[in-house]
Amino acid sequence: MNISKSTVSYHFKILRSVGLTHTRKDAQIKYLSINKDTFHKYLPGFLDSL
C-alpha cells in the first residue's frame, strides 16, 4: 500500500481516541492492538466473524 506515515499515524490516532485500539511503546517502536472489550460492547460478534 502506498500510504504516507502521517496518514497512517492520523488514522491510528483516531482509532485510539475512540477506544478501538491500545498502543504500547517499547523504545522507539509502537505496538498497536485491538481493544477487544470495546469491540464486544459496540460490535458484538464482529471479531468472531473475521
pLDDT digits (tens, 9 = 90+) for 36-49: 999 899 889 988 89
Helices within 1-50 (DSSP H only): 5-17, 36-42
Above 90 in pLDDT, residue 32?
yes
Q: What is the pLDDT of residues 1-31, one digit of tens each?
A: 799 999 999 999 999 999 999 999 999 998 9
* Cα–Cα distance measured from residue 42 to residue 16, given in angstroms and rounded to the nearest whole number: 15
Instruction: Quote the pLDDT of residue 4.
Output: 95
Instruction: Quote the pLDDT of residue 21.
Output: 95
* Cα–Cα distance measured from residue 46 to residue 19, given in angstroms and rounded to the nearest whole number: 16
